[in-house]
Structure 1
Amino acid sequence: MRNVLNTLRVLEEVAARQPIGVGELARVLEMPKSSVQRALVTLDTAGWIRPAAGEVTRWVLTTKALAVGSRAGGDLGLRGAALPIMEDLRRHTEETVHLTVPEGGKMVLIERLETDKPVRTAMALGHALPFHASANGKAVLAYSDPELVGQLLGNEMPRYTDTTITDPAELRAELTVVRDRGFAVNRGEWRSDVGAVAAAVLDGNGQPIASLSVNIPIGRLTAESEPFFGAAVHAAAATLGARLG
Structure 2
Amino acid sequence: MQNVLNALRVLEEVAIRQPIGVGELSRVLGMPKSTVQRALRTLHEAGWIRPAGGELTRWAVTTKALDVGRHASGDLGLRDAAVPVMEELRRRTEETIHLTVLEGDRMVLIERLETTKPVRTNMSLGHALPMHASANGKAVLASGAPGAVDALLAGDLPRFTDTTITDPDGLRTELDLVRARGYAVNRGEWRSDVGSVASAVLGADGEPVASLSVNVPMSRLTDETEATFAAAVTEAARTLSARLGHLP
Instruction: Specify the TM-score bucket, using the shorter chain as the normaliser.
Output: 0.7 to 0.9
The range that moved more, 214-223 or 154-163, is 154-163
**What is the rounded CA distance, in whole Å, between the counterparts of 1:165 and 1:61 in structure 2?**
25
**What is the rounded CA distance, in whole Å, between the counterparts of 1:172 and 1:145 in structure 2?**
13
Contact 1:48 1:64 in 2 (8 A): yes
Structure 2 gap ranges (5+): none
> Which residue in 2 is equivalent to 1:128?
128
| Aligned ranges 1:162-181 → 2 under 5 Å | 162-181=162-181
Question: Are 2:32 and 1:32 equivalent residues in the alignment?
Answer: yes
**SS of 1:129 mapped into structure 2:** strand
> Which residue in 2 is equivalent to 1:82?
82
Q: Residue 132 of structure 1: CA displacement?
A: 1.6
**SS of 1:100 mapped into structure 2:** strand
Q: Residue 18 of structure 1: CA displacement?
A: 6.5
1:89-142 deviations in Å (ceiling 9; x for gaps): 112211111111122122222221222222211222222222221111111111
**SS of 1:71 mapped into structure 2:** helix
> Which residue in 1 is equivalent to 2:42?
42
The range that moved more, 55-64 or 70-79, is 55-64
The alignment covers a number of residue pairs equal to 245
> Which residue in 2 is equivalent to 1:183?
183
What TM-score do the two structures reach when normalised by structure 1? 0.85
Contact 1:15 1:124 in 2 (8 A): no
Q: Residue 51 of structure 1: CA displacement?
A: 5.9
- Alpha carbons of structure 1 residues 6 and 196: separation in structure 2 relative to 1, 3 Å: same
- Alpha carbons of structure 1 residues 193 and 243: separation in structure 2 relative to 1, 3 Å: same
What letter matches 1:134 in structure 2? S
Question: Are 2:117 and 1:117 equivalent residues in the alignment?
Answer: yes
The range that moved more, 86-95 or 124-133, is 124-133
> Which residue in 1 is equivalent to 2:241?
241
**What is the rounded CA distance, in whole Å, between the counterparts of 1:161 and 1:180 in structure 2?**
26
**SS of 1:83 mapped into structure 2:** helix
The range that moved more, 44-53 or 85-94, is 44-53
Structure 1 gap ranges (5+): none
**What is the rounded CA distance, in whole Å, between the counterparts of 1:232 and 1:178 in structure 2?**
16
What letter matches 1:176 in structure 2? D
**What is the rounded CA distance, in whole Å, between the counterparts of 1:8 and 1:150 in structure 2?**
25
**SS of 1:213 mapped into structure 2:** strand
> Which residue in 2 is equivalent to 1:137?
137
| Aligned ranges 1:145-164 → 2 under 5 Å | 145-164=145-164
Percent sequence identity over aligned pairs: 72
